[in-house]
């Protein structure tokens, strides 16, 4: 029997998360600048999420970290009190087991606790299954990007209203 566990990030998770983000993006053809793999926070994800209104989770399958994701205020656009769903990535071994729904629901719950009014995310066209998950959780497509995430290569933008 496999066991899925979602917990808050710990310092020991930094390198595993960095590798997971980079490898998953490569798998989907997302290489170079303009993607999350270029973000400075990848060097120390634990510290990056130890500030107000930030939360980051890892997903373990039988004790092995195989997924991650979190929320933080959307850079450059807080007049609308919007959170950003950040760095939600899953290793192939974790996909299709329901962990995505569990993690996104946990992030939505945390965004509500932080009193955000909406959650924004960016992804890429090739991540079709991820988009299907986001749509099933109430996210809708936007015609253009919001905020200033520096993910200029992401071509899909979605938003979920929380209130």
CATH number where 52 lies: 3.40.630.30
In terms of residue numbers, what domain contains 67?
4-161
- Taking Cα atoms as reference points, which of 40, 42, 50 lies closest to residue 20? 42
pLDDT value for 126: 85
- Compute the C-alpha angle 131/133/137, nearest 5°: 115
Residue 127 confidence class, pLDDT cut points 50, 70, 90 = confident
pLDDT value for 78: 60
- Taking Cα atoms as reference points, which of 83, 69, 88 lies closest to residue 147? 83
CB 35 within 8 A of CB 21: no
What pLDDT, in 10s, does the model give residues 23-48?
Answer: 887 877 777 666 666 667 778 999 99
How far is Cα 72 from Cα 15, in angstroms, rounded to an integer? 20
- Does 155 have pLDDT greater than 70? yes
- Does 133 have pLDDT greater than 90? yes
**Domain total of the chain:** 1
């Amino acid at each position: 029997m496999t066991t899925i566990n979602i917990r808050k990030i710990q310092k020991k998770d930094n390198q595993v998360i960095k590798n997971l983000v980079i490898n998953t993006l490569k798998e989907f053809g997302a290489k170079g600048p303009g993607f999350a793999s270029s973000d400075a926070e990848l060097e120390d994800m634990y510290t990056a999420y130890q500030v107000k209104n930030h939360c980051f989770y890892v997903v373990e399958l039988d004790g092995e970290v195989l997924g991650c994701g979190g929320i933080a205020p959307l850079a450059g656009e807080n007049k609308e009190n919007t959170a950003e769903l950040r760095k939600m990535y899953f290793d192939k071994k974790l996909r299709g087991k329901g962990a995505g729904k569990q993690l996104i629901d946990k992030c939505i719950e945390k965004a509500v606790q932080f009193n955000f009014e909406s959650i924004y995310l960016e992804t890429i066209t090739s991540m079709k299954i991820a988009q299907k998950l986001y749509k099933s959780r109430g996210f809708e497509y936007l015609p253009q990007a919001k905020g200033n995430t520096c993910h200029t290569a992401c071509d899909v933008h979605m938003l979920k209203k929380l209130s």
